[in-house]
Amino acid sequence: MHTNGDTLVFKEEVFRIVGCAIEVLNTLGHGLVEKPYENALVVEFGLQGIPFQQQPSFDIQYKGRKVGLFVPDLIAFNAIVVDAKVIDRITDHERGLMLNYLRTTDLRVGLILNFKRAKLDGNEWSYEFVSMRVYSWLK
């Protein structure tokens, strides 16, 4: 887990999001496609009073011209990019995509939540049923 010094950036917010993800996984189970998990997080965020945007779009600029869009799954607390995944494991591809989301949105923290399995190995920071990685984009 990446931190700023000894302090996790947005610690309380991160743990609230992870709590929502655990509730979603405990309720839906593991192994569905990604969209139901994203939509269930939206419902749970609403129930928990977590401010969020679903599928906001951000322009990608090249020499002053728009050349594309980045569309993250969710932004919570106007500060944390949340990406729901159902994949065998989080790889450099997902990490790179998250870093691009952070650069594009000018945000500093991203969560990749992997709903693939009910149990995880020790290679990822995990709660009992949720795989999560935290990235801080340090300026």
Residues 52-82 have pLDDT tens digits of: 999 999 999 999 999 999 999 999 999 999 9
Q: State residue 88's pLDDT score.
A: 86
pLDDT at 100 over 90: no
Position 6 in a domain: no
What pLDDT does 117 receive? 78
Residue 25 lies in a domain: yes
Whole domain around residue 67: which residue ranges? 11-136
The answer on pLDDT for 37 being more than 50 is yes
> pLDDT tens, 10-33?
889 989 998 999 899 889 988 899
**Amino acid type, 70:** F
**C-alpha span between 98 and 135 (Å, rounded):** 8
Structural domain count, the chain = 1
Whether 110 and 103 have beta carbons less than 8 Å apart is answered as: no
Q: How many helices (H) and strands (E) does the chain have?
A: 3, 7
Average pLDDT over the chain reads 82
Query: Is residue 3 assigned to a domain?
Result: no
Whether 2 maps to a domain, the answer reads no
* pLDDT value at residue 116: 86
Residue 43, phi then psi, degrees to nearest 5: -60, -50
